[in-house]
Structure 1
Amino acid sequence: MEAQLNKDERIELRVSSTDKRIFKKAQKLSGDKSFSSFIIRVVKQQAEEIVAKNDRIIATEKDRKVFFDAVFGNPKPNQNLVEAAKRYKSKKA
Structure 2
Amino acid sequence: MNTTTKEQARFDVRLSKEQKLFFEKAAYLGGFRSLTDFVILTVQEKAKEIIKEKEQIIPSEKDSQLFFDAITNPKAPSKTLKSAYEDYNSYNNFIPL
Asked if these proteins are the same fold (TM beyond 0.5), I'd say yes
Q: Secondary structure at the match of 1:75?
A: coil
TM-score (norm 2): 0.69
The alignment status of 1:68 with 2:76, answered yes or no, reads no
Q: Which residue of 2 aligns with 1:36?
A: 36
Larger radius of gyration: 2
1:32-77 CA-to-partner distances (Å, cap 9, x unmatched) read 1122111100011111111111112212111111111222224334
Structure 2 vs 1, CA of residues 76 and 27 (structure 1 numbering), >3 Å: closer, same or farther? same
Deviation at 1:24, TM superposition (A): 0.3
Distance 1:16 1:62 in 2: 43
Q: Which runs of 4+ in 1 moved over 4 A?
A: none
Distance 1:85 1:36 in 2: 61
Q: Amino acid of the residue matched to residue 73 of structure 1?
A: N
* Runs (5+) with no aligned partner, structure 2: 88-97
TM-score (norm 1): 0.71
Deviation at 1:7, TM superposition (A): 4.5
The alignment status of 1:12 with 2:12, answered yes or no, reads yes
Q: Secondary structure at the match of 2:8?
A: coil
Distance 2:72 2:54 in 1: 27
Give aligned-pair identity as a percent. Answer: 33
Distance 1:25 1:7 in 2: 30
Q: Secondary structure at the match of 1:21?
A: helix
Distance 2:49 2:64 in 1: 22
Distance 1:8 1:36 in 2: 14
Aligned residues: 81
